[in-house]
C-alpha cells in the first residue's frame, strides 16, 4: 500500500511509530497528485513547497517528542472557498482569480495548531453554487470512478481528491448537499455538521443561514477526528455555540436499542432503482446490527427544495454584493482590455461591468432570483413564505427525533451523471440536491457513507440524519455500519 492511500488513523500510527516521515507522506500525496491531476482536475492551486515545509516542521516535532496529536503531519486538501493566509483563494470564480487570502479561516487556524499539512486548494462550483463542479470558472473535476462523469458538487474537487488518494482527507462546505452529494458520488465519507457547530469565519459566504464547513474522509472515524478538531465556539462567527460533545461509546458493532427512522418521503417515484435497493439493503443491515427500524413521515419534505431555492438566492444576492470591483478581485479598473475599449466610464459602470464579467452564469442567475424575490412587492410572497415553510420543515425533524435517534435515507436520487448532461437546465441540476437540502433548511447534521455500487460500478451513498448537535450518534451508527461492510475499502482504478 502506498502512503497516500492511508487513512488518518493509519497514517498517524505510522508517523508515531516512525515507520515513515511526514515528509514522505506529503511527498506520496504530491506524487499522486502529479500522476493523476491531468485526468482529475481536482485542484485549483497546489501548494507543493508549502506542504513540504510544513511536513518538515511536523517531522521536527515528532523527532523532539512534541507531536501535536493525531493530525500532526497529516496531508489535507482544502476546498478553495476556505482562506489560508498568504495563498491564492479563488472560490473557483473569475472574480477572485487573482485574490490572495489576507488571513486564516478559523478552521485553518485550528488545523495549523493540530499540525496538519495543506497540499492545496480544491476545485468547486463557483462560490459553492452547483452540484457538479461544472460551474467552476477554471475546470471541471472528473469522477475517479468514471472520468466521463461528474464527482458531484459543489465540493467535487475535495471529494475526488480523497477518493483518488491524492490526499488523506479534505475539508469542504455544505449549503444544500455540497459535502454529502459528492461524498456519495465518489464512495467516501462526508459530514455536514449541525448549523453553528463549526465556525465559518474565513469561509467565502454562501447563504449564511444554511452554510457549514465539514470533513470529507476515507472512514467515519477520520471524519469524526477532523470534525472534533474544527468544532467549537468562535466569537468571529456569531452563530457558533458552546456544546459539550455527547460521546457515545461504540459498543463493539452493536446498535442494540438504537431507533432508526426511515421517512417514506425519501423514496420517491423516478429515483434510481439500484439506489433504492442499496439503501434498503443498508437499512436491513442496520437492523441486523440490532437497530430498531421504523417507518416515519417528514411530511414537508417535498417543499424543501423550493424553500431552499427562494431563501438561498436571497442570501446569495446579499453575500456576493461585496464583489464589486472596488477593493479586491477582478475589476474593470485594472482590466487592460476593457480600458482600451472604454475611454470613459462611471463608478456605476465599475460595479455593473466588473460583476457581469467576473461572475459566471449560475452566480448571476442566483443574484437575479434573489434580487427579484427580495424586491418591493415580492418579499412576502417568496421570502417570508419560504421562511414559514422552513419552520414546518424544522418541526418535521423535531417531531421525528422524539421517536427515533437517527434517520436513514438515500443521498441523491441519481448516480453520478455525465459531464455536460445537466448544464443547460438549472432546475434539473437543482433536483440532484432533493434529499440533501432539507438538512440545511432545518440545520440538522448529516453523515454520508458508502453503501454500494450500481451495476455500472457507480458509487451509492447512505445518508444518516441526526438530531441537532447529535453528530456523535451519526458517528456511532455510521461506524457500526462501516465496520460490518466492505464498501469503503473499494478503490477506483485510475
Catalytically active residues are 79, 154, 178
Contact 397, 406 (CB under 8 A): no
Choices 36-44, 271-279, 288-296, 303-311; region in contact with other proteins by CB under 8 A: 303-311
Nearer to other proteins, 18 or 388 (CB): 388
Single residue of 5, 57, 371, 454 touching other proteins by CB under 8 A = 371
Is 256 a binding residue for other proteins by CB under 8 A? The answer is no
Is 387 a binding residue for other proteins by CB under 8 A? The answer is yes
> In the window 168-227, what residues touch other proteins (CB under 8 A)?
194-196, 209
How many C-beta atoms lie closer than 10 Å to residue 444's C-beta? 25
Contact 267, 259 (CB under 8 A): no
User: Which three-class secondary structure state does DSSP give residue 326?
Assistant: coil
d(CA 243, CA 197): 8
Is 367 a binding residue for other proteins by CB under 8 A? The answer is yes
At 340, which helix (H) or strand (E)?
helix 336-341
Nearer to other proteins, 118 or 359 (CB): 359
# binding residues, other proteins (CB under 8 A) = 69
**Cα distance from N-terminal residue to C-terminal residue, the chain:** 15
Is 68 a binding residue for other proteins by CB under 8 A? The answer is no
Q: Point out which residues pair with 450 in neighbouring strands.
A: 461
Single residue of 112, 228, 364, 491 touching other proteins by CB under 8 A = 364
Compute CA distances 183 → 86, 217, 278, 415, whole Å: 29, 9, 16, 12
Identify the CA nearest to 285 among candidates 486, 454, 490. Answer: 486
Q: How far is the CB of 328 from other proteins (least distance, A)?
A: 4
Nearer to other proteins, 146 or 234 (CB): 234
The C-alpha angle with vertex 64 and arms to 59 and 68, in degrees rounded to 5, equals 65
How many C-beta atoms lie closer than 10 Å to residue 384's C-beta? 11
d(CA 386, CA 265): 20
Single residue of 294, 388, 418, 490 touching other proteins by CB under 8 A = 388
* Cis amide linkage into residue 18, ω under 30° from 0: no
Single residue of 265, 272, 349, 421 touching other proteins by CB under 8 A = 349
Nearer to other proteins, 77 or 207 (CB): 207
φ and ψ at 174, to 5 degrees? -140, 115
> In the window 431-460, what residues touch other proteins (CB under 8 A)?
442-443
Is 356 a binding residue for other proteins by CB under 8 A? The answer is yes
Nearer to other proteins, 68 or 394 (CB): 394
C-alpha cell at 22: 511526514
C-alpha cell at 205: 459566504
How many C-beta atoms lie closer than 10 Å to residue 69's C-beta? 12
Is 369 a binding residue for other proteins by CB under 8 A? The answer is yes
Is 346 a binding residue for other proteins by CB under 8 A? The answer is yes
Nearer to other proteins, 363 or 462 (CB): 363
User: Exposure pattern of 220-249 as b/e (b: 16+ CB <10 Å)?
Assistant: bbbbbbbbbbbbbebeebeebeeeeeeeee
Is 1 a binding residue for other proteins by CB under 8 A? The answer is no
Q: How far is the CB of 318 from other proteins (least distance, A)?
A: 11
Choices 32-40, 51-59, 324-332, 458-466; region in contact with other proteins by CB under 8 A: 324-332
Nearer to other proteins, 158 or 173 (CB): 173
- Site mask for other proteins (CB under 8 A), range 70-99, x = bound: ---------------xx-----------xx
In angstroms and rounded to an integer, the radius of gyration of the C-alpha atoms of the chain is 22
Is 112 a binding residue for other proteins by CB under 8 A? The answer is no
At 260, which helix (H) or strand (E)?
strand 259-263
Q: Which residues bind other proteins (CB under 8 A)?
A: 85-86, 98-103, 194-196, 209, 235, 238-239, 241, 300, 303, 305-307, 309-310, 317, 324-329, 331, 333-334, 346-353, 355-356, 359, 364-365, 367-369, 371-372, 375, 381-382, 384-392, 394, 426-427, 442-443, 468
Amino acid at each position: 500500500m502506498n502512503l497516500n492511500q492511508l487513512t488518518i488513523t493509519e497514517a498517524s500510527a505510522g508517523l508515531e511509530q516512525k515507520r515513515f516521515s511526514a515528509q514522505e507522506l506529503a511527498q506520496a500525496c504530491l506524487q499522486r497528485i502529479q500522476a493523476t491531476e491531468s485526468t482529475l482536475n481536482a485542484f485549483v492551486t497546489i501548494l507543493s513547497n508549502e506542504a513540504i515545509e510544513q511536513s518538515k516542521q511536523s517531522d521536527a516535532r515528532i523527532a523532539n517528542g512534541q507531536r501535536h496529536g493525531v493530525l500532526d503531519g497529516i496531508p489535507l486538501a482544502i476546498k478553495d472557498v476556505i482562506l489560508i493566509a498568504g495563498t491564492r483563494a479563488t472560490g473557483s470564480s473569475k472574480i477572485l482569480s487573482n485574490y490572495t487570502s489576507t488571513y486564516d479561516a478559523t478552521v485553518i487556524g485550528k488545523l495549523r495548531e493540530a499540525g496538519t499539512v495543506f497540499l492545496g486548494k480544491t476545485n468547486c462550483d463557483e462560490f459553492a453554487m452547483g452540484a457538479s463542479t461544472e460551474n467552476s470558472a477554471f475546470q471541471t473535476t472528473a469522477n475517479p470512478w468514471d472520468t466521463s462523469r461528474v464527482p458531484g458538487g459543489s465540493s467535487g474537487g475535495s471529494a475526488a481528491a480523497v477518493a483518488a488518494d491524492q490526499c488523506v482527507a479534505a475539508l469542504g462546505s455544505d449549503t444544500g448537499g455540497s459535502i454529502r452529494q459528492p461524498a456519495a458520488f465518489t464512495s467516501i465519507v462526508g459530514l455536514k455538521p449541525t448549523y453553528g457547530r463549526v465556525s465559518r469565519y474565513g469561509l467565502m459566504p454562501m447563504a449564511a443561514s444554511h452554510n457549514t464547513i465539514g470533513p470529507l474522509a476515507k472512514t467515519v472515524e477520520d471524519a469524526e477526528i477532523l470534525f472534533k478538531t474544527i468544532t467549537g465556539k468562535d466569537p468571529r462567527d456569531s452563530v457558533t455555540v458552546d456544546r459539550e460533545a455527547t460521546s457515545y461509546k461504540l459498543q463493539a458493532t452493536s446498535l442494540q436499542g438504537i431507533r432508526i427512522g426511515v421517512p417514506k418521503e425519501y423514496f420517491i417515484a423516478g429515483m434510481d432503482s439500484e439506489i433504492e435497493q442499496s439503501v434498503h439493503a443498508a437499512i436491513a443491515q442496520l437492523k441486523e446490527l440490532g437497530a430498531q427500524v421504523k417507518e416515519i413521515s417528514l411530511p414537508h419534505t417535498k417543499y424543501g427544495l423550493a424553500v431552499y431555492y427562494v431563501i438561498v438566492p436571497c442570501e446569495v444576492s446579499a453575500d456576493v454584493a461585496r464583489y464589486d470591483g472596488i477593493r479586491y478581485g477582478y475589476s474593470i479598473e485594472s482590466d487592460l482590455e476593457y480600458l482600451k475599449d472604454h475611454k470613459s466610464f462611471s463608478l456605476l459602470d465599475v460595479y455593473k461591468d466588473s460583476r457581469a464579467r467576473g461572475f459566471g452564469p449560475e452566480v448571476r442567475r442566483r443574484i437575479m432570483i434573489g434580487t427579484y424575490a427580495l424586491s418591493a412587492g415580492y418579499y412576502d410572497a417568496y421570502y417570508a413564505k419560504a421562511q414559514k415553510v422552513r419552520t414546518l420543515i424544522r418541526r418535521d425533524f423535531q417531531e421525528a427525533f422524539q421517536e427515533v435517534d437517527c434517520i436513514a435515507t438515500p443521498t441523491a436520487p441519481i448516480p453520478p451523471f455525465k459531464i455536460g448532461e445537466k448544464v443547460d437546465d438549472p432546475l434539473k441540476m437543482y433536483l440532484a440536491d432533493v434529499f440533501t437540502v432539507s438538512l440545511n433548511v432545518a440545520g440538522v447534521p448529516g453523515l454520508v457513507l458508502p453503501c454500494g455500487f450500481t451495476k455500472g460500478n457507480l458509487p451509492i451513498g447512505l445518508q444518516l440524519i441526526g438530531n441537532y448537535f447529535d453528530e456523535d450518534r451519526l458517528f456511532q451508527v455510521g461506524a457500526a455500519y462501516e465496520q460490518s461492510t466492505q464498501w469503503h475499502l473499494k478503490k477506483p482504478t485510475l
